[in-house]
Amino acid sequence: MTDIIYHLVPAEYWEARLLDRVYVPADFAREGFIHCTRGDDQIALVANRHYRNDRRAWRVLVIDERAVISEIKYEPGADDVLYPHIYGPLNREAVIEVLPMPRDPDGVFQPLQRS
């Protein structure tokens, strides 16, 4: 499916959220949007860049971009790659799957293995 985007979230933060409510990450008030990526390899690159030393378990929200109610803008990151940013809360029905983010014992995140 080509309309898939991903969002990384600490497992305990995701699991503490009420399933009947919209989702916003912890830094939403400061950032103003929800950071997302595209592609199985890109999610691992971003995870290693920002969270490699964070030893918490992480989850990947697999999001159907077409089902997101809030506005999505593709904007360049510091690496000049265009990233999808969700400008508003994420409606739960757009989350089609929640996966563990794979990583090696030394903390290096690996690309998702999706069928």
96 is a domain residue: yes
The answer to whether residue 83 is domain-embedded is yes
Q: Which CATH number characterizes residue 91's domain?
A: 3.20.170.20
pLDDT at 2: 73
Do the Cβ atoms of 99 and 62 come closer than 8 Å? yes
Residues across the chain: 115
Range of the domain at 54: 4-100
Residue 112 lies in a domain: no
Q: How many Cα atoms sit within 13 Å of 58 on the Cβ side?
A: 27
Q: Name the token pair of 24.
A: 């916003």
On whether residue 92 sits in a domain, the answer given is: yes
Residue 106, domain member (yes or no): no
> Tens of pLDDT along 28-54?
999 999 999 998 888 999 999 999 999
Q: What is the DSSP letter of 101?
A: -
Tokens at 41, concatenated? 């390899």
- Predicted TM-score (pTM) of the model is 0.92
Q: How many domains would you assign to the chain?
A: 1
Residue 84 covered by a domain: yes
Per-residue pLDDT tens over the stretch 49-81: 999 999 999 999 999 999 999 999 999 988 888
105 part of a folded domain: no
